[in-house]
Amino acid sequence: MAVPKQSTFTYGLGNPLQTKITKPGQTLPTTKKVVPKATGDSAEVKAVKDAAAAAQIAFDASDKAVKDYLAGINAGGGGGGGGGGGDGGLTYDQQLALQKQQQDADKLLAESQKKVLALDTFRATLGLIFGKDEASKAYVSKLYDLTSGFYKSGSTVEEAMNLALYQAENDKVIPEFTTRFKGIFALRDAKQAGAALQVPTIAEFFATEAKMGEVLRTAGLGDLATETFLGDIIGRQKSVNEVASLISDVFNTIDYAPAELKTTLSTYFPGVDRVSLAKAILTGPEGAQALSQKIKGVSVISAGQQYGMAIDMPTAMDIANRGYGYGEALTGFKQVSSLSRAGDLARIENKTFTQQQAQDAIFKQDSANLGQIAGLKEREEARFASQTGAIKGSFSTQYLSKNSSAGQF
């Protein structure tokens, strides 16, 4: 069809775009359809802005092409406008392409503006993290309202829940929710005060809680594996490894100690029963390493008591740090006890040989004291060497002979 000199097409102020596709020969509306601007600053909304900007660039390019096309028609005066080959306006395909670009941009913006967290989806996610019982509680609807706001701004469901937790604490709402995670807030406060630690997310908090509960149940302390107690332990900056060490190195040592040792330990680690003892150990200010060392010291004290020897804690700790546990300390104090005769012999020579010197000889292998013991033995043997008969000195045969408990001397 030939192009008429005077086209019935009227070009408006904007792109030749309409919401309803016209058939060839019909005029286009003169109103420009403006691409709405997206709001927000999340990554998703930014992507929408970029897509809308790209669509606008495409419109501008198409707009220029149409203007050039119409200029050719008007300049040609009916001569076909440089081969436009048309009906006085855009072709059907050109109109369709332009409208699809606008629809795509509108769709992207609409999707961003309509991003809504479904309540069912929220409850299901909450159930996976908290458990089904927790997800059915009354406060979940209030939490949903807080979480939805962060979700709409671009956060994932889990990120939104963590943000909602702090928002709830700040606004002093949903106390049943914030109280559940008092351990997280305790760690946050410690970090803000300068402690070098990592504040867990809700998911990490639950994982830690579950592992600690397993440690306690394995030790027969299932009564302590509760949300309240474990949350308190986490808030005290106790890790899973620390709790495991407190149970294996401290609690179990006391729990399985011989009766004599357990009696002594009870004066340093009071507890009416196993649960009370474990609770005191886990919530106390001392860590596993310090408590383990303390138990070793008490064990040495207890071993000394079995042989009537009073040992103070610094001395006991020194012996323990030399590798003496309860059993080894019992053997050592037995040897110290067998050297009591050495003190008597030393006094005969107007010398002294104390219990402390005997302990140093046994536990520290002190050369000076070992030498004094050897000298006392030799002089005693010499005194009785000239005697006739089968009777020998009691010291040489019972205390310092090679077959005695102090035989290394």
Q: Which of 118-132, 158-172, 331-345 shows the lowest per-residue confidence on average (mean pLDDT)?
A: 118-132
Q: 196 falls in which pLDDT band (50, 70, 90)? A: very high
Cβ atoms of 5 and 88 closer than 8 Å: no
Q: Which residues contact 342 (CB under 8 A, 6 or more apart)?
A: 353, 358, 372, 373, 376, 395, 399, 400
Angle at 27 between CA 23 and CA 30, to 5 degrees: 130
As given in the structure block, the two tokens for residue 49 are 């802005």
The rounded Cα 313 to chain-centroid distance in angstroms is 36
Is it the case that residue 394 has pLDDT exceeding 50? Answer: no
Q: 16 falls in which pLDDT band (50, 70, 90)? A: very low
Cβ atoms of 70 and 87 closer than 8 Å: no
Cβ atoms of 227 and 217 closer than 8 Å: no
**Distance between CA atoms of residues 36 and 42, nearest Å:** 17
Is it the case that residue 397 has pLDDT exceeding 80? Answer: no
Mean per-residue pLDDT of the chain = 77
The model's pLDDT over 214-226, given as tens digits with 9 standing for 90+, comes to 999 999 999 999 9
Long-range contacts of 294-297 (CB under 8 A, 24+ apart): 294/268, 295/249, 295/250, 295/253, 295/254, 295/265, 295/269, 296/320, 296/321, 296/325
Is it the case that residue 183 has pLDDT exceeding 50? Answer: yes
State residue 352's pLDDT score: 87
Average pLDDT score over residue span 321-341: 91
Q: 61 falls in which pLDDT band (50, 70, 90)? A: low
State residue 118's pLDDT score: 74
Q: Which residues contact 147 (CB under 8 A, 6 or more apart)?
A: 117, 122, 157, 160, 161, 163, 164
Is it the case that residue 238 has pLDDT exceeding 60? Answer: yes
Q: Which residues contact 226 (CB under 8 A, 6 or more apart)?
A: none
Is it the case that residue 395 has pLDDT exceeding 60? Answer: no
More confidently predicted of 76 and 296: 296
Is it the case that residue 396 has pLDDT exceeding 50? Answer: no
State residue 109's pLDDT score: 60
pTM: 0.59
State residue 158's pLDDT score: 86
State residue 125's pLDDT score: 79
Q: Is the dihedral of CA 199, 204, 206, 211 positive or negative?
A: negative
